[in-house]
Amino acid sequence: MSVVLNRGEKGRRRTARPGWTLFALVSHTVRMQLRGVIIWGAALGLYSAAMVASFTAIEGSADQLNQLMEAYPKGMLEAFGVTDLGDPANYLHSQVFGLAPLALSFFPILALANALAGAEERGTIDVLLGNPLPRWQLVAGTFVAVAVSLLGICAIVGLLTWGTAVLTGVELSLREVAEAVLNLWPICIMFGALALLCSAFFHRRSLAIAIPAFLLFGMYLIDTIGRASEDLEDWRPLSVFYYYGSAIENGMDWAHFGSITLVALALLLLATLVFRRRDIYT
Amino acid sequence: MSLAIETEKLTKAYGRKARGIEDVDLAVEEGEVFGFLGPNGAGKTTTVRTLLGFLRPTGGRGQVFGLDIRKDSVEIRARVGNLPGEFTLEDKMTGEGLLKFFARLRGVRDLRYAHEISERLGAELHRPMRRLSRGNKQKIGLVQAMFHRPPLLMLDEPTGGLDPLVQEEFLDIIEEVRDEGRTVFFSSHNLAEVERVCDRVGIIRGGRLAAVETTETLIDKSFRHVVLTFAEDVDPKPFAALSGVRDLRGGGKRISFTLYDNLDEMVKLAAGHRLVNMEYERPSLEEVFLTYYEREDGEVR
């Protein structure tokens, strides 16, 4: 089959519309991450479900446990968000949702560090960018795909948590659980966006993982120690965990939710600008 | 004839340690098969990656179908099918999944041509990349570069890892691409392949374009490795004395040398003895480069 091209065909090559290429990239990336979403969702969700189930065991002896807790330094209890172990919301915050960002942030960090620097190291980026895909779309599309996948993980965690509460008769409303898992999203995606920026800047996947991971644990420590020590309390606003709060107990703080999301978007914008201007190495 | 690729003093510097390309002036006409040749590290891949917008040029200018490589990279890539030198894909992807994804990115709905060339090359589209041999991955790389019938194909070592039958099929496809009026720009170390399909070749060395020649001229400039085996002992000195003979080795019944020219006299001299066998080998392209450059530099020959 032979088709001779004329000049017009060479000059006006039909391509997918820009919005369509972005959609194609996002849907493809989400599909590629599906297994990861299920594994992460199941692992965190089952842990959370186990904590809900364990609450039924301590529910009857909550008063004794709270008395026992009073023997601990007040600062230490505050550091870990323990106020009333007889309250399932407080129990779940101290056992699950207060710590969950430390683990769940690694999903977007790993995925977004892989997107640019990882693809350069593996040599796969030339094949992908051999297509008429603008660089900004590669950055933004991957970010959106990871953000959607992260929502999927949160949904699985929420369903397993709430489902277990219903089955075991623990008093947790769907709204409380939904707000708790949704509150994980901005803080985790913010560290993912930082990984994306590092990935755009350094060409090296290891640095794109190490820097956000270091900041993640550093900020967690600042906030945790700041709760326990008055000397370090002034440092807490420097940590994103200060704004994370406890949505399962106090409801969602939409201002903080929006602010952290805006920081993530600012990091995304920076990553896009950096990646647009730099060489791609393989 | 209009130009598919045109560069003027195109330069890409990586810094002090690594060499890029310098002042590359290249003109590839539409509809020709252009071989881009050079030793490893000469700047072939840097040139291609700069033309595609993966690397930012540090000097000069370049155009693909009249589109600026700095400003119109996306439009250029819409018109180009690219096979990188080190073709790698995500391990869990299959060739079919890759083609469907790339078809969506390019707005291609009809995959019949993709399946036709996959069949011709024997590409296994339904196995994950991690289970494919290098040759089978390369076939998928070729299919993804060609399936959308781009006006320009940029192929870096396209036949690496392919068995001879598939190489032959690929070269047939390249000839069909030329017949359709499309352009092919490819780098290769395989002289026979270059000789068969390329209309012209550009030779790059040390980041600079050393020459652009027709393929015939390049082959004429090359030499041959000769091994002569005689029935009885032969004095090698008359052979060594022939102009065009270099690096003569051996003696007695078997002598070998490199012949740059003067084939006629060498054959006549050998015919004066009882010749049992004569091996007359093409050199590798790398060797041709060395000879070519040495001639250009006026060092020897």
Residues of B in contact with A122 (CB under 8 A): 88, 90
Nearest C-alpha of chain A: how many angstroms from B55?
Answer: 5
pLDDT at B91: 85
Q: What is the mean pLDDT of residues A65-69?
A: 70
Q: What is the mean pLDDT of residues B48-67?
A: 95
End-to-end CA distance of chain A: 36
Confidence of residue A51 (pLDDT cuts 50, 70, 90): very high
Q: Which of B4-8, B136-140, B288-292 has the lowest mean pLDDT?
A: B288-292
Residue pair B230/B275 in contact (Cβ under 8 Å)? The answer is yes
Q: Which residue has the higher pLDDT, B217 or A157?
A: A157
Question: How would you classify the pairing of strands B208-214 and B200-205?
Answer: antiparallel
Put simply, the answer to whether A282 touches B86 (Cβ < 8 Å) is yes
Per the listing, tokens 């007889």 go with A86
Residue pair B202/B26 in contact (Cβ under 8 Å)? The answer is yes
**Closest residue to B107, CB basis, from A9, A15, A134:** A15
pTM of the prediction? 0.85
Q: What is the 3-state secondary structure of B194-230?
A: HHHHCCEEEEEECCEEEEEEEHHHHHHCCCEEEEEEE
Put simply, the answer to whether B151 touches A9 (Cβ < 8 Å) is yes
The pLDDT tens digits for A207-259 are: 999 999 999 999 999 998 888 888 888 899 999 999 998 999 999 999 999 99
CA–CA distance, A227 with A95 (Å, rounded to integer): 17
The pLDDT tens digits for B138-174 are: 999 999 999 999 999 999 999 988 999 999 999 999 9
CA–CA distance, B225 with B247 (Å, rounded to integer): 10
Interface subset of B 123-142, CB within 8 angstroms of A: 141
* Residue A73 confidence (pLDDT) above 80: no
Residue of B nearest to A14 (CA): B107
Residues of A in contact with B106 (CB under 8 A): 15-16, 131-132
The pLDDT tens digits for A174-202 are: 999 999 999 999 999 999 999 999 999 99
Q: What is the mean pLDDT of chain B?
A: 89
Q: What is the mean pLDDT of chain A?
A: 89
Interface predicted TM-score (ipTM) of this complex, two decimals: 0.84
Residues of B in contact with A138 (CB under 8 A): none
pLDDT at A39: 97
Residues of B in contact with A15 (CB under 8 A): 78, 106-107
- Contact of B298 with chain A, judged by CB distance below 8 Å, is answered with no
pLDDT at A8: 47
* Residue B134 confidence (pLDDT) above 50: yes
Put simply, the answer to whether B54 touches A134 (Cβ < 8 Å) is no
* Residue B296 confidence (pLDDT) above 80: no
DSSP-assigned letters across all residues of A89-148: HHHHIIIIITTHHHHHTHHHHHHHHIIIIIHHHHT-HHHHHTSS--HHHHHHHHHHHHHH
Residue pair A96/A46 in contact (Cβ under 8 Å)? The answer is no
Residue pair A184/A154 in contact (Cβ under 8 Å)? The answer is yes
Nearest C-alpha of chain A: how many angstroms from B37?
Answer: 21
Q: Which residue has the higher pLDDT, B34 or A14?
A: B34
Q: What is the 3-state secondary structure of A76-96?
A: HHHHCCCCCCCCHHHHHHHHH
Put simply, the answer to whether B104 touches A282 (Cβ < 8 Å) is no
Nearest C-alpha of chain A: how many angstroms from B216?
Answer: 26
pLDDT at A2: 46
Put simply, the answer to whether A16 touches B107 (Cβ < 8 Å) is yes
Put simply, the answer to whether A7 touches B86 (Cβ < 8 Å) is no
Top mean pLDDT of A232-236, B84-88, B212-216, B271-275 is at B271-275
B110 three-class SS: coil
- Mutation target to probe the B interface, by most B beta carbons within 10 A, among A14, A15, A274 is A15
CA–CA distance, A185 with B90 (Å, rounded to integer): 27
Residue pair B113/B103 in contact (Cβ under 8 Å)? The answer is no
Residue B265: enclosing H or E segment and its boundaries?
helix B263-271
Residues of B in contact with A115 (CB under 8 A): none
Residues of B in contact with A6 (CB under 8 A): 181
- Contact of B84 with chain A, judged by CB distance below 8 Å, is answered with yes
Confidence of residue A10 (pLDDT cuts 50, 70, 90): low
pLDDT at B88: 84
The pLDDT tens digits for B231-263 are: 999 999 999 999 989 999 988 899 999 998 889
pLDDT > 90: what percent of chain B? 69
Put simply, the answer to whether A24 touches B86 (Cβ < 8 Å) is no
pLDDT at B294: 65
Give the full edge-to-edge strand order of the sheet including B208-214: B80-83, B152-156, B183-187, B33-37, B200-205, B208-214
Put simply, the answer to whether A133 touches B80 (Cβ < 8 Å) is no
- Contact of B15 with chain A, judged by CB distance below 8 Å, is answered with no
**Closest residue to A11, CB basis, from B65, B102, B176:** B65
Strand partners for B228: B255, B278
**Closest residue to B104, CB basis, from A11, A16, A126:** A16
Tell me the residue ranges of DSSP E strands in chain B: 3-12, 21-29, 33-37, 59-64, 67-68, 80-83, 152-156, 183-187, 200-205, 208-214, 224-234, 245-259, 275-281
- Contact of B180 with chain A, judged by CB distance below 8 Å, is answered with yes
DSSP category for residue B239: H
**Closest residue to B65, CB basis, from A10, A123, A130:** A10
Interface of A with B (CB under 8 A): 1-7, 9-11, 13-17, 20-21, 24-25, 28, 32, 122-124, 126-127, 129-134, 277-280, 282
Residues of A in contact with B176 (CB under 8 A): 2
